[in-house]
Structure 1
Amino acid sequence: MIIKDSHIPIYFQLEMEIKELIKDLQPGDPISSEREFSEKYDISRMTVRQAINNLVNEGILVRKRGKGTFVAEPKVEQPLSGLTSFSEDMRSRGLTPKTKILDFQVIPSNRSVAGKLMIQEGEFVYEVRRLRLADDIPMALETSYLPLSLMKDLTKEIVNASLYDYIENDLKQQISHATQTLESSLSQKQESMLLQLKDGAPVLLIERYSYLGSGIPFEYVKSIYRGDRYKFVIDMKRANQ
């Protein structure tokens, strides 16, 4: 129900109405048109468009040119309270992970990468670019840097399976912790193509530094996650005063 003399903006009330309506729908189901919402609630189509645009930006709805507006696929949630691999995250949610290796090479480290991995500038590192998929849907674009000195027999096949399994089971090294930073951005042309997004779509930029139990960093990763399919969840506890 829309209350027109409420202090709550009408477009926001309509967003809440649509969220309730789609609870009984499945991903991919169509919703009513702007005209139908306008007539049903006796409000302007501009107000309806604002509400729908906001829900599209949230990743709750998706527009398809010439077809209408549909319920979007739910976003994958990743808690920030533990260190897990992409494959582990996807499997825990009943999704099938897949990795497409875009580039795998050994290069001398530049000053920036060397500093992040605590090695000398010029020491060799693996540079691995991967497209991460879940149920064959592109989710993230990753570029990883790994010290050659720590894993001299690393191969594309190992990376394609599970790097963390290789480190823990084959190298018998304990993975301790990671530091991760997140910021919002807009996709660039090549990123948009690989992630199947429109140019300028919202994405999450993530940098992660992962460490062994000895305190040595074994991985520096720059990732671009689809903003419409992925969200991070933080469980926060109030600090003791």
Structure 2
Amino acid sequence: MSVTSSGVPPKDRAQEGILWYIKSEGLRGGDRLMSERELAEMIGVSRTALRAAITQLISTHVLESRQGSGTYVLPSKPINIFQETYNYSDAVRRAGREPGSRLEYARLIEADEELAGRTCLAVGAPLFEMRRIRFADDEPVSIETAYVNYAICAGIESHDFATESLYDVLAAEYGVHVGHGRERISIARATAEEALLLQVEEGSPVYFERALECQSDGLPVEYLKAVILPSRYRFASNGCENGSRPKGVKSTWLTW
């Protein structure tokens, strides 16, 4: 592997140059990059290094190559920062995109042994179960199944969560606010049903997330299961304690 005099490998310098070009020119999802020759000359790298950088950025879903047309910028992916209170719609808007959701079902159930263990509630405890498909600019991003502690929000099933926000309803109608939570992320493969809902091929890699959200006093509020497309969503840590943000750093600190 060749290295420049500054100690930065040409491929890495090319990648940094492409990201700088996208940001400085204000390119957005769907915009086309200049030709490889022009871009290599502007950044000051060989076309070989540039192509390697483009390949890497395609693999991380920053760019896409269209046969016979060129290389294009993909829309920014929403990001979930672990330490901050999760709000899907806010994450999508911060990425400059429009959030949306489709309600698959909403119903009252009783906790079986598994759900009782996951929610830290008793077997038979009432739960409000809701499944939604989450979108960004009409593109499916995730399948979320929420189990809400019904004891703290009786009557919540009367709300229309095809249009309303769960956390907004909990706060406004019941005075319930999430104070902290625990999340676990693993890698899985999309089942036939999940692939159909997410509009991808069966067996496509997905994130599988489990999260338990609680009030500041530790009372369970929501247990969440989510199947998420890594090509359309990101996770990160800001290095702070749960529920806090680094001072002086905006939510856009991770752009790609």
How high is the TM-score relative to the length of structure 2? 0.72
CA separation in 2, counterparts of 1:153 and 1:204?
A: 32
Identity within the alignment, %: 26
Q: Which amino acid aligns with 1:195?
A: L
Q: CA separation in 1, counterparts of 2:3 and 2:93? A: 48
TM alignment of 1:94-105, pairs within 5 A: 95-105=97-107
Tell me whether 1:204 sits opposite 2:204 in the alignment.
Answer: no
Per-residue CA distance 1:8-30 (angstroms, 9 max, x = gap) = 76655554454455443442133
Q: Distance in 1 between matches of 2:79 and 2:57?
A: 18
Instruction: Say which SS state the counterpart of residue 114 (structure 2) adopts.
Output: helix
Aligned length: 233
Q: 1:119 to 1:5 in 2, by over 3 A?
A: closer
Q: For residue 180 of structure 2, what is the aligned residue in structure 1?
A: 177
> Gaps spanning 5+ residues in structure 2: where?
242-256
Q: Does 1:230 align with 2:233?
A: yes
Which 10-residue stretch deviates more, 13-22 or 123-132?
13-22
Note the 1:1-241 alignment, pairs <5 A: 11-12=11-12, 14-23=14-23, 24=25, 25-31=27-33, 41=46, 43=48, 51-64=53-66, 68-91=70-93, 95-155=97-157, 157-160=159-162, 161-236=164-239
The structure where strand makes up a greater share of residues is 1
The one-character-per-residue Cα deviations of 1:40-85 (angstroms, maximum 9, x if unpaired) are: 9464xxx876543321121111244675542111122333232142
Deviation, 1:86, is 1.9
**CA displacement at 1:232 relative to structure 2:** 2.5
Segment drifting more, 153-162 vs 139-148: 153-162
Distance 2:201 2:32 in 1: 21
Of 199-208 and 221-230, the range deviating more from structure 2: 199-208
- Is the CA contact 1:103–1:128 (under 8 Å) kept in the aligned structure 2? yes
Letter of the structure 2 residue corresponding to residue 102 of structure 1: E
Q: TM-score, normalised by structure 1?
A: 0.76
Deviates more, 1:199-208 or 1:89-98: 89-98
In structure 2, do the counterparts of structure 1 residues 170 and 21 end up closer, same or farther at CA, with 3 Å as the change threshold? closer
Q: For residue 227 of structure 1, report the CA deviation from its aligned partner.
A: 1.3
SS of match in other structure, 2:54 = helix
Matched residue, 2:244: none
CA deviation vs aligned residue, 1:107-162 (integer Å, no higher than 9, x gap): 33221111122222233322211111233332221011123333331227443301
CA contact (8 A) 2:105 2:131 kept: yes
Given that 1:31 and 1:70 are in contact with CA atoms closer than 8 Å, whether structure 2 keeps it comes out as yes
Give secondary structure in 2 for the equivalent of 1:183.
Answer: strand
Deviations 1:181-227 (A, max 9, x none): 22334434333332333444443322110112442212100112221
Q: Distance in 2 between matches of 1:236 and 1:214?
A: 23
Instruction: Tell me the SS of whatever aligns to 1:155.
Output: helix
For the aligned residues, what is the CA RMSD? 3.5
When structure 1 is superposed on structure 2, of 83-92 and 51-60 the one drifting more is 83-92
